[in-house]
A and B are shown apart, each in its own frame.
Chain A
Amino acid sequence: MNLERIPNEEKLSLCRRYYLGGFAFLPFLWLVNVLWFFREAFLKPTYTEQLQIKSYVKKSALGLIVWVAVLTTWITIFQHFRAQWGEVGDYLSFTIPLGTA
């Protein structure tokens, strides 16, 4: 859908719903929120709802950064220590690479 065509109240409501939805373990939704509403929030001339949209975009960005940090840490730990964890490592693994320890 084209953001140009909908009134500002609907834009705000959409941004808000995307923001709230992201709390359900959905950092991707926050990413989409940030990318989609970035122009609306920061590069457009001011309108009434823009301040709130800005705040939602910023909060979504913050949440996204937190999730990226958490996931990167976990993935690094897992990839590094998987072999050493033995049984627990295998239990956690969806695919186990062949030919390595």
Chain B
Amino acid sequence: MNTSDSEEDSYNERSALVQCESPTIPSYHQDHDMSLPQETDTKRGRPVSSGLDEPGLVERERAATPDGEEEELTLKYGAKHVIMLFIPVTLCMVVVVATIKSVSFYTEKTSQQLIYTPFKEDPNSVGQRLLYSLLNTIVMISVIVVMTIILVVLYKYRCYKFIHGWLILSSLMLLFWFSFMYLGEVFKTYNVAMDYPTLAMIIWNFGVVGMICIHWKGPLRLQQAYLIVISALMALIFIKYLPEWSAWVILAAISIYDLIAVLCPKGPLRMLVETAQERNEPIFPALIYSSVVVLSADERQRNEGGALAQEGVESEDDVALGGRRRCSAEEDLEEDRGVKLGLGDFIFYSVLVGKAAANGGDWNTTLACFVAILIGLCLTLLLLAIFKKALPALPISITFGLVFYFSTDNLVRPFMDSLAAHQYYI
């Protein structure tokens, strides 16, 4: 998916003079309901643009500083953004892997499948299994494409109420139903007695505060935590209800779709981003994870006058930058620069790592996939810093993840097992 960088758009009048554009990031969340053919929206990552995006800021910087300065800032921001995204992605994966390893419910295969993967894989015949997984993938991807196009159309024709209603319904389902299922399974695993009144209180509190934080206003950390939790829940549902081979093919197909949808001129995601950028609107908060970098005051150089506002400038040479004054000589203003990653990215990364953990239970494979995904994320953010426009965050990471999974599972694992069996340590 795309990771995007957007400025905090709630500047008050004391803010710096430069208006920061917030590149909107469309994200589609795919929600699957097992029993009801409910609509799903696909959550996707958003385009990522680097933090130095505002034209005014970049121009002034270029005027006042040599190019090396700007590159240095870009790289500094790039590094910070990478770290800021590592933590939530890692947390999400840790939650999923921990659940998979401890709660057996999510690894038990039932005969029940999502309606989006109608073909049942027969474990006996390789050819049929392959064919059915391809067919399942085609069904799933077409559902995703259709949903994405519907979302883009709705957005273009400004049917905001409908989109918001849809998002609220899907987050309601996630926050209440899936967490209810999850809690039930955790309690069964740990053999804990739980009564209905307490359970009702827990689910009610969790759900309502989650809705408030995600859709309205709440502390940033709590909102981020909730987004991570619902991504993990969604990933667990996928891991349970997608058939074995179909899941891998779907992962590969979704990365390709992401690539097409974001980079092609007529791709739905790209159109969504551009429309949102034209209208200068932020993307729906329920679909993307945003973290903000808050520059503390002491990182900025200040004039004795105390009224120099510096936007996102950290290096000492910036003292030389004049010409940026705040309207009033207030105390330190903190600059927020955010990186945004779509929730769909979280979900699919976690699905990959979760499936690696579920199959065979070998930690080598799991860790290898984890590292692969993080490397992919790094590379994506690097490309983002270079290209400064919306980029899909799925393809590179998922490709690396798949390659590492299959090679570790088939090459490294037998090797390590052999070594261990012969007590030969390297």
Interface residues of A (CB under 8 A from B): 1-2, 4-7, 14, 21, 24-29, 32, 35-36, 71, 74-75, 78-79, 82, 92-99
Q: How many A-B residue pairs have CB under 8 A?
A: 82
Q: Are the C-beta atoms of A28 and B220 separated by less than 8 Å?
A: no
Known: A1-B218, A29-B205, A32-B209. A94 touches B199 (CB 8 A): yes
Q: Are the C-beta atoms of B336 and A25 separated by less than 8 Å?
A: no
Q: Are the C-beta atoms of A2 and B294 separated by less than 8 Å?
A: yes
Interface size on B, residues (CB 8 A): 32
* Least CB separation from A79: chain B residue: B193
Q: Are the C-beta atoms of A74 and B184 separated by less than 8 Å?
A: no
Provide 5 A-B residue pairs closer than 8 Å at the C-beta atoms, listed in order of the A residue: A29-B209, A71-B198, A92-B196, A93-B193, A94-B187
Q: Are the C-beta atoms of A25 and B201 separated by less than 8 Å?
A: yes
Whether B266 sits at the interface, judged by CB under 8 Å, is no
Q: Are the C-beta atoms of A95 and B206 separated by less than 8 Å?
A: no
- Report the minimum CB–CB distance from B303 to chain A (whole Å): 22
Q: Are the C-beta atoms of A95 and B198 separated by less than 8 Å?
A: no
Q: Are the C-beta atoms of A2 and B336 separated by less than 8 Å?
A: yes
Interface residues of B (CB under 8 A from A): 8, 10-12, 184, 187-188, 191-199, 201, 204-206, 208-209, 212, 217-220, 222, 292, 294, 334, 336
User: What 17 additional pairs, Cβ within 8 angstroms, besides A26-B204, A97-B193?
Assistant: A1-B217, A1-B220, A6-B12, A25-B201, A28-B206, A29-B208, A29-B212, A74-B198, A78-B195, A78-B198, A93-B193, A93-B194, A94-B196, A94-B199, A95-B188, A97-B191, A99-B191
Known: A5-B12, A7-B12, A26-B204. A82 touches B198 (CB 8 A): no
Tell me which residues across on chain B come within 8 A of A93, comparing CB atoms: 193-196
Tell me which residues across on chain B come within 8 A of A2, comparing CB atoms: 8, 10, 220, 292, 294, 334, 336
**How many angstroms from the CA of A26 to the CA of B197 in the assembled complex?**
13
- Report the minimum CB–CB distance from A49 to chain B (whole Å): 16
**How many angstroms from the CA of A82 to the CA of B193 in the assembled complex?**
9
* Least CB separation from A98: chain B residue: B191
Tell me which residues across on chain B come within 8 A of A21, comparing CB atoms: 212
Most buried by B among A14, A29, A75, A95: A95
- Report the minimum CB–CB distance from A80 to chain B (whole Å): 11
Tell me which residues across on chain B come within 8 A of A97, comparing CB atoms: 191-193
Q: Are the C-beta atoms of B10 and A6 separated by less than 8 Å?
A: yes
**How many angstroms from the CA of A4 to the CA of B217 in the assembled complex?**
14
Tell me which residues across on chain B come within 8 A of A1, comparing CB atoms: 10, 217-220
- Report the minimum CB–CB distance from B370 to chain A (whole Å): 31
Tell me which residues across on chain A come within 8 A of B10, comparing CB atoms: 1-2, 5-6
Tell me which residues across on chain B come within 8 A of A4, comparing CB atoms: 334
Tell me which residues across on chain A come within 8 A of B195, comparing CB atoms: 78, 82, 92-94
- Report the minimum CB–CB distance from B289 to chain A (whole Å): 14
Q: Are the C-beta atoms of B209 and A26 separated by less than 8 Å?
A: yes
Most buried by A among B197, B205, B217, B336: B205
**How many angstroms from the CA of A12 to the CA of B219 in the assembled complex?**
15
Tell me which residues across on chain A come within 8 A of B292, comparing CB atoms: 2
* Least CB separation from B217: chain A residue: A1
